[in-house]
Structure 1
Amino acid sequence: MNAELLQGYYLEDWLIEPLKGQVTGRGGSTHLAPKAAEVLNCLANAPGEIVSRDALLDAVWGVGNGSQEALSHAVSEVRHALDDHADSPHFIQTLPKRGYRLLITPEMVADASSSVVLGAADGARPSDIGFIENLKRRGVLETLVGYMVVGWLLIQIADIVFDQLHFPDIVGTFVTVLVIAGLPIALILSWFLEIHDGRAVLHELSPADARRRRFSRTYVSIISALGMAGVLVFLFDQFIGLPEREPEVVVTTVVPAELPPIVENSIAVLPFNNFDGSDETQIFANGLHEDIINRLVRIPDLRVSSRGDSATLSPNSSSEQVRRRLRVQMYLEGSVQMHEDRMRITVQMIDTESGFHIVSRTFDPKREDFFAVRDDITRLTVANVRVALPPNLRASSLQVMEDPSLDAYLLYRRGIDASRQSSSMNTIATALGWFDAALEVDPDYAAAHAGKCTVFVDAYGETDDPNYIERAESACARALALNSNLDIVHTSLGELHVSTGRLNDADVSFKKALAIDPSNVRALLGLGETYQLQNKLDLAERYVQNAIDIHPGDWNAYNTLGTFLFQTGRFDEAAQRYQYVVALDPDNTTAYSNLGAALMLNGNFADAEKAYKRAIEIQPRQVAYTNLGLMQYFLGEYDDAIESHKSAIELSPQNYLAYSNMGDALWVAGRRDEASIAFLKAAELVGGRLAVNPNDPFVSMDLAWINAMLGNHDQARVLINKALKTIPDDPYT
């Protein structure tokens, strides 16, 4: 037997000390019986070779002594000490009827006598070394400190010198990313540079030599890491790209210094707080908010902020916020809480200038008395505002036009809430589902039929599918037959007539709605659009301005007036109205998109681009990308324009204008075949719009351009002349 084995040896991370009868591993030391230690020594003397049972018995117990059971027991002891297993051996393999074999070649402790194993005085494996001690011995801590100093210096030099030399920002970014990426590489190199034969060792050197060696390793690690990181960052920049600073999107156009004035006898109704947090309570709160507004607007000489604008404020908004945003003298706020079959409704009227309460009242009705409480709150509000209500108008002003069953009302309110979300086919389908559910409970609920009519018109605008117009006509006809006294029925019908080009019918419907509710903003704005299409521009502007006067702070009214001014070529005035919208609602994507269009046609391309990008930042929409693409087209940035129009098509694949504008950009970029494909697609899509409204001057104008680009010049002239008869002042025509 090799005498060196008796001095000790390693089996991987296990230290075997035969003379001590001890096995030391990561979990500590284990005693090994003398016979078991001798068996292990015999196997270690011939690693990788089969040692027969008889040979082991003769060597350990003597010839003729011992037994197979004693040998098996000794082998089991060894396996137990080494945490080995007979069925999946790592150290000792059993070969049935033949013997045993040691699978690991032992490493003599004497062979490592020229080195000091990191750790205990008697020597130990790297796993026994303390983590912090290991970091110190390997020079990792020195590398970390050195690298941070070098990296900081590099970044500071880049920050100061590169700016003086007018280097591009990407160069400074490259240096910063290089320093960040190199840190883990330097630490890894420092850790592994001193690994030998599976163990971390320090050669026997003088303390000074050892320190010099460690610091030289630090320098090598830092320099190598920076070099490797430089290559990696370069490749990353080539194939993926380093981050670049995004320019701040700041609209530098001048917002009017003064907001619209506070209107006398004006009031807003804020959304009601939902104190118990349930969905049903929220529906009641939303319905109460809107129904009170609908009843207050019927009162002559009382100016009521629109539902959409008051809904932009939270229920607990301060009086200063309400006054600045809605431009009203007073506002109503409150809360709704439900418990079993009872409700608690609290309302407070507050002066916006002083913030003082004018009146406060709490109602505790049963659930089924909701409509009665709603009317009581309306009467309480009227009693505390300074308006003269003629006696002969009092009853009609507060009259409840339609009170369905409470279950149908709740479903209808869900449909209304869904229809007011950002328009898409998903929200349209959701709204239709709720309206249909309300009609299953109450088939004669006229307001629900009117809601379906409006949503079908919106669906037509999204898809250009004429089938939606047929459904809208059916729904509006049913609503009108059920209750012709509802202003919302006539308003929905008027909007349907505008979509189909029946402008005289639209005029009649909107006026009927206003006869029922003179403050109906949708009807006023609808009349404005109708008269514009009939080229009655003075009347159109008057009705839109009337909507603004009745509902101070209504951004939609200002936006509609801006669109009217834009379409009549008054771009400077249009931009001013859109700036009002931005001042009232800073996150309004429609306002920024329209503002950009007005600025662009007024020649202010720089501010127009900022407005478009701000609109896209708030909410990516087809119209914003289309307008941005048009401006890039005018500036000669054709590749950018093509990309913007691609984004518009992705958001609205059925929009013929998106394809037409794409065709323009492709044409001037020299990609004529692709342009022709885009124009043909636009011509295909525009057919659905003309089928519904063959007299739409704006669609005729667009189709004229498409025909001209496809070479159909005679047809283009016919369409241009047709559009000019209706909208002679439109700048695009």
Structure 2
Amino acid sequence: MADTFGSDTEAGQERSDFRLGALLVEPDQNCVSNGAQRHRLEPKVMKVLCVLAGRPGEVISRQELIDQVWGVEHGADESLTRAVSLLRSVLNTDKDLHSVIETIPKRGYRLVAEIGEVEEPSEAPEPAAPLVEEAAPFVREPWRRDTNISPVRYVSALVVLAVIMLWTGVLIGRSSSSAVAVPEKSIAVLPFENLSGNSEQDYFSRGLSEEIRTLLTQLDELKVAGRAPPSVGTAEGMDAQALGKTLRVSHVLTGSIRSDQDRIKVSAELIDTESGYQVWSHGYDRLLSAQSLFDLQKDIATDVAGALSVSLNVQEPNRILGSDTHSLEAYNYYLSAREADVFGMGDRSEMLALLHKALELDPDYGAARVTLAMNTGAQAWNASTPAEASAFLAEGRAMAEEAVRLNPDLAQAYTALANFQALDGDWLEAGRDNRIALERSPNLRVLHDQTIFLMRTGRVEEALSIAQRGQSSDPLNPDRAATLAMAYALLGRHEAAQASLEHYWTLQLPPGDWDAYAWTIEMQAPQTVESLTALCRRLVGADPSLRPLLAPVIEALPDTGAALRAVGAQFESGAGAHPNRFEILAALAAQLGDPELALRIWRHELEGTRLRLMRVWGPVYADMRRLPGFADLMTGIGLPAYWREFGWPDRCRPAGASGFDCF
């Protein structure tokens, strides 16, 4: 291997600096500036711009752009769309470049701005005022970290977020006056510091830390906090005691990694956050190979467990399970993909490509296969047709089944399979596989999958309890906050749902804003005709592709009868190709007082895919659930057999020998 850590450095840009209208483009620096502001782009976004600039005025097909920039088959189409959108957001800041990248329907894109060369100065220029560098939106590459984000900024954001969360009571669903106790037997694993002198290997240091954290979740008595943001462990001005208070743990594990040719050296340290004293430390020096890395992870986790057994009486494990590949290259690709998944530092297409590379090197790599299964299935959320969604889900289920076969000890393989089984209507099998996963390892990822599954079955109160635990253990994970917001909304706790939603927006990088997910949550609360009209307009503003769907409804309001006729007409016509179209129409029908129409729409949606099934348990559909047809729909889906074995949902109860009523 040319590079032991498989860092996949970006190919050098072929273009020198050039002018785009009044903008200066510096490909080698991945920067675009206008003399006052400097925007930094991700390498692949810059490469898209360079390909277009190489042939100005010429239409370049989407496929050619994908081939030149990504060179992968899996999911790059979505990345190209996002890259063009991000370029427009930067380039259109110049008023003279209002249409710099033009979309040619069914053909591709072309650059319509004038390209100019950068003149070399004849003599040394006067020192210019420093440019204000503005961080533009970007698509992160999974194996890279934005080196311009300082550790101090990360920790400052961490502290501010912690204060906000404690103030609003979002963490555990209580008021801000409630005391938050630090569990005695608890630990946070901080990202290990990379001392190798190559920032492109940061992903490896963080990945190793994350793997050790996962191994520690196998200790039944130990509460293991969710992942800490990158660079927290090396932040200036934040000692172990402050970190312990922020992350609410009694101990932190930190360390450093240095690679030297064919060897890897790791220093690990366990610190008591109350006293600030070191409990344990050790240095490890190993040959660099896949097996030695997995042994190293297990050795560190076992040694930490041994140290905690002395200070906290944590029972040492009989065994700690490690990774399941012998390919160092495959492991590196998996760590890169996992960083995108865990830290939100990449997009799904890059993650899928990296996981496919890992499996090409080791087809029997169970952990990589289950991660690929989950992300393959997740593409069904954005499918435009039920057939397309079903294809993604079928592919994901086959991968999850194979992951269970390859690694029967991998807990998340069972929860992944359980969610696919549920979406296929195999609820009993899904319930049993979830039970197996919890027996294997009730870690945060398993519990998150369990939360989604329980909400689909209507057991939302139980799901909320698990979601609150996940948020408490992993307070800086946006997925936890989003799931908690949905659970609150489905239970009619609208203020708590809104607080969790706002918390979710603050955790996104870059920070998010009102979107279709927020609309779904707000539609569970009672709406007036005026507020409903405003929400519809706001949704179109957030997603202009929904204008054809919602324009007739908006035009008909405030006449509720006319609006309902418009909803019905849109449903009967097929409602276009937007993934959320039927969910949106069903919520409008329910809010406008026609539960029969809402049920007809949901029946059509659930016959295609059950991804959005959890929505039917919200308060807006209370009248719909009382209709006899709703019980028939749930019977057709196959849920009653699951309920009788595993527990009835919050909104349904058994009636007679085989019937049930919902409310």
Q: What TM-score, normalized to structure 1?
A: 0.51
CA distance in 2, matches of 1:587, 1:565: 18
After superposition, the Cα gap between the structure-2 partners of 1:497 and 1:639, relative to the gap in structure 1 and judged at 3 Å, is: same
What residue in structure 1 maps to residue 338 of structure 2?
416
What residue in structure 1 maps to residue 121 of structure 2?
none
What residue in structure 2 maps to residue 359 of structure 1?
280
Q: What TM-score, normalized to structure 2?
A: 0.55
User: Is contact 1:275-1:336 (8 Å) kept?
Assistant: yes
What SS does the corresponding residue of 1:395 show, helix, strand or coil? coil
What residue in structure 2 maps to residue 256 of structure 1?
176
**1:520-557 deviations in Å (ceiling 9; x for gaps):** 22323433444444445665455556656776887755
Structure 1 residue 330, shift from structure 2 partner: 0.9
What SS does the corresponding residue of 1:261 show, helix, strand or coil? coil
Structure 1 residue 511, shift from structure 2 partner: 1.6
CA distance in 1, matches of 2:534, 2:523: 7
| Residue 418 (structure 2) aligned to one of 468, 482, 494 | 494
CA distance in 1, matches of 2:205, 2:329: 15
What SS does the corresponding residue of 2:530 show, helix, strand or coil? coil
What residue in structure 1 maps to residue 250 of structure 2?
329
CA distance in 1, matches of 2:465, 2:525: 31
After superposition, the Cα gap between the structure-2 partners of 1:717 and 1:381, relative to the gap in structure 1 and judged at 3 Å, is: same
CA distance in 1, matches of 2:478, 2:349: 27
CA distance in 2, matches of 1:332, 1:380: 11
CA distance in 2, matches of 1:468, 1:358: 48
Structure 1 residue 471, shift from structure 2 partner: 0.8
**1:700-719 deviations in Å (ceiling 9; x for gaps):** 689x99xx9xxxx9xx9835
User: Is contact 2:263-2:288 (8 Å) kept?
Assistant: yes
What residue in structure 2 maps to residue 667 of structure 1?
556
User: Is contact 1:662-1:675 (8 Å) kept?
Assistant: no
Between the aligned residues of both structures, percent identity stands at 19
After superposition, the Cα gap between the structure-2 partners of 1:311 and 1:513, relative to the gap in structure 1 and judged at 3 Å, is: farther
CA distance in 1, matches of 2:397, 2:337: 19
What residue in structure 1 maps to residue 348 of structure 2?
428
What residue in structure 1 maps to residue 96 of structure 2?
none
**1:128-171 deviations in Å (ceiling 9; x for gaps):** xxxxxxxxxxxxxxxxxxxxxxxxxxxxxxxxxxxxxxxxxxxx
Q: Residues 137-152 of structure 1: matches in 2 within 5 Å?
A: none
CA distance in 2, matches of 1:550, 1:253: 17
Greater mean alpha carbon deviation, residues 671-680 or residues 500-509:
671-680
- Give the partner amino acid of 2:440: I
Structure 1 residue 722, shift from structure 2 partner: 3.7
After superposition, the Cα gap between the structure-2 partners of 1:462 and 1:694, relative to the gap in structure 1 and judged at 3 Å, is: closer
After superposition, the Cα gap between the structure-2 partners of 1:352 and 1:666, relative to the gap in structure 1 and judged at 3 Å, is: farther
What residue in structure 2 maps to residue 521 of structure 1?
444
**1:236-288 deviations in Å (ceiling 9; x for gaps):** xxxxxxxxxxxxxx999786134632111100001122233536632321221
After superposition, the Cα gap between the structure-2 partners of 1:563 and 1:696, relative to the gap in structure 1 and judged at 3 Å, is: closer
**1:551-581 deviations in Å (ceiling 9; x for gaps):** 68877557645533431234466567x39x9
After superposition, the Cα gap between the structure-2 partners of 1:678 and 1:515, relative to the gap in structure 1 and judged at 3 Å, is: same
User: Is contact 1:265-1:329 (8 Å) kept?
Assistant: yes
User: Is contact 2:437-2:446 (8 Å) kept?
Assistant: yes
What residue in structure 2 maps to residue 587 of structure 1?
506
Q: Which has the higher contact order (CA 8 A, sep 6+)?
A: 2
After superposition, the Cα gap between the structure-2 partners of 1:475 and 1:365, relative to the gap in structure 1 and judged at 3 Å, is: same
What residue in structure 2 maps to residue 718 of structure 1?
629
2:268 is the alignment partner of 1:347: yes
Structure 1 residue 697, shift from structure 2 partner: 4.6
CA distance in 1, matches of 2:460, 2:614: 16
CA distance in 1, matches of 2:484, 2:614: 18
Q: CA RMSD in A?
A: 4.5
After superposition, the Cα gap between the structure-2 partners of 1:448 and 1:285, relative to the gap in structure 1 and judged at 3 Å, is: same
User: Is contact 1:690-1:699 (8 Å) kept?
Assistant: no
CA distance in 2, matches of 1:554, 1:696: 22
What residue in structure 2 maps to residue 174 of structure 1?
none
User: Is contact 1:331-1:352 (8 Å) kept?
Assistant: yes
Greater mean alpha carbon deviation, residues 684-693 or residues 363-372:
684-693
User: Is contact 1:272-1:335 (8 Å) kept?
Assistant: yes
What residue in structure 2 maps to residue 268 of structure 1?
188
What residue in structure 1 maps to residue 541 of structure 2?
647
CA distance in 2, matches of 1:633, 1:539: 27
- Give the partner amino acid of 1:366: L
Structure 1 residue 636, shift from structure 2 partner: 1.5
Structure 1 residue 668, shift from structure 2 partner: 1.3
What residue in structure 2 maps to residue 284 of structure 1?
204
What SS does the corresponding residue of 2:279 show, helix, strand or coil? strand
After superposition, the Cα gap between the structure-2 partners of 1:698 and 1:487, relative to the gap in structure 1 and judged at 3 Å, is: closer
User: Is contact 2:271-2:279 (8 Å) kept?
Assistant: yes
**1:273-311 deviations in Å (ceiling 9; x for gaps):** 22335366323212211111111111121111012x455
Structure 2 gaps of 5+ residues are 1-163, 170-174, 583-602, 641-647, 653-661
Q: Residues 101-500 of structure 1: matches in 2 within 5 Å?
A: 256-258=176-178, 260-276=180-196, 278=198, 281-307=201-227, 309=228, 313=232, 315-316=234-235, 317-368=238-289, 369-385=292-308, 386-390=311-315, 394-396=317-319, 398-400=320-322, 402-420=324-342, 427-463=347-383, 465-500=389-424
User: Is contact 1:541-1:564 (8 Å) kept?
Assistant: yes
2:648 is the alignment partner of 1:729: no
CA distance in 1, matches of 2:632, 2:542: 29
CA distance in 2, matches of 1:269, 1:462: 34
After superposition, the Cα gap between the structure-2 partners of 1:281 and 1:630, relative to the gap in structure 1 and judged at 3 Å, is: same
| Residue 489 (structure 2) aligned to one of 566, 570, 573 | 566
What SS does the corresponding residue of 1:365 show, helix, strand or coil? strand
Greater mean alpha carbon deviation, residues 547-556 or residues 635-644:
547-556
CA distance in 2, matches of 1:689, 1:530: 18
What SS does the corresponding residue of 2:256 show, helix, strand or coil? strand
The aligned length equals 435
What residue in structure 1 maps to residue 159 of structure 2?
none
Higher helix share goes to which structure? 1
After superposition, the Cα gap between the structure-2 partners of 1:275 and 1:677, relative to the gap in structure 1 and judged at 3 Å, is: farther
Structure 1 gaps of 5+ residues are 1-249, 591-615
After superposition, the Cα gap between the structure-2 partners of 1:525 and 1:372, relative to the gap in structure 1 and judged at 3 Å, is: closer
What residue in structure 1 maps to residue 606 of structure 2?
690
CA distance in 2, matches of 1:265, 1:659: 55
